[in-house]
Amino acid sequence: MRPWFPSAFRALAALSALSAVDGYFYHFQVECRYSSEDLKDVEYIERRIFNKLQDMMYNSTLNKYFGYSENGVYNADIWNKDESALAGAHSNLDGYCKPNAELYFKNILYHTVEPTVKVKTVKASSERHTTKLQCSAYDFYPEGIKLKWLRNGQEVKDGVTATEELYDGDWYHQIHSYLEFTPQSGETIECQVEHSSLKQPKTYKWDPSVPEGTRNKVIIGTSGLVLGLVLSIAGFVYYKKKSTGRILVPSS
């Protein structure tokens, strides 16, 4: 009996038809195995498995089929004598494994996404220091990030705490680092980020002016005050005009 499928692609196409058979399962598996990124030792392996038992395997390194059952040995023997079958299987190494490896390396292995970093003031929780800062790095890929606090360019270790790298559940991660300290005038505080998406560490300066939340409240409050003043002045002017008019009318 001759095996059905001389090449990986025809086999995959036929597979769905076979799996519709109730109770028996034929499984055709193609593997591209790489142990180094230069693809020097990439290996193409085909496995034919029936009801969980491997019947036959092709190994591109030896360019040979191997049988694991009476039927498998019989078929492997036939295929190993068939130059075009061997060449067909072997062609998947350059035609399938290598181009795909390059795509996977580029899009998964070397793929990086730079974090969005925010430095802000949060409520201080200790008695010892007046100020607590939070440096958050969001949506970076892959895992493996380092956050540092710099005071006038020098790393600060005292008063620093951080969360673990938290997995967002969508390939991305986030992390938060905190610094508790007592600010001095004229100093610069920065959060420094090291990540594979960045060629060199990137620093983010803390803006010690009023934090955004408070600033918004101040803007809204001031706008309200200005609006109130404008309305009262207009009202006052209107009142003055009207009352002078009234005085003028009876005296004429």
- List of residues contacting ligand NAG (CB under 6 A): 43, 45, 59, 61-62
Q: What single letter denotes the amino acid at residue 25?
A: F
Token pair 């491997």 is found at 54
Min CB(31)–ligand NAG separation in Å: 7
Q: Which two tokens stand for residue 155?
A: 């790393």
Min CB(8)–ligand NAG separation in Å: 15
Nearer of residues 45 and 156 to ligand NAG, judged by Cβ? 45
Phi, psi of 245 (to 5 degrees): -55, -45
Question: How does DSSP assign 149-189, residue by residue?
Answer: EEETTEEE-TTEEE--PEE-SSS-EEEEEEEEE---TT--E
Min CB(30)–ligand NAG separation in Å: 12
Min CB(62)–ligand NAG separation in Å: 5
Which residues, in sequence order, are bridge partners of residue 64?
59
Nearer of residues 98 and 111 to ligand NAG, judged by Cβ? 98
Q: Which residues, including other chains, have CB under 8 Å from residue 130's CB and lie 6 or more apart?
A: 124, 182, 183
3-state SS assignment for residue 230: helix
DSSP state at residue 53: E
Min CB(58)–ligand NAG separation in Å: 9
Nearer of residues 46 and 190 to ligand NAG, judged by Cβ? 46
- Which residue of the chain is nearest ligand NAG when measured via CB? 59
Nearer of residues 57 and 147 to ligand NAG, judged by Cβ? 57
Which residues, in sequence order, are bridge partners of residue 180?
132
Nearer of residues 35 and 252 to ligand NAG, judged by Cβ? 35
Q: Which residues, including other chains, have CB under 8 Å from residue 18's CB and lie 6 or more apart?
A: 26
Rounded to whole angstroms, how far apart are CA atoms 9 and 27?
13
Min CB(83)–ligand NAG separation in Å: 20
Query: What residue spans of 35-82 are helical by DSSP H?
Result: 70-80
Nearer of residues 96 and 138 to ligand NAG, judged by Cβ? 96
Number of helices (H) and strands (E), helices first, in the chain?
A: 5, 13
Nearer of residues 47 and 120 to ligand NAG, judged by Cβ? 47
Min CB(45)–ligand NAG separation in Å: 5
User: What angle, 0 to 180 degrees and rounded to 10, lies between the N-to-C axes of helices 83-92 and 70-80?
Assistant: 100
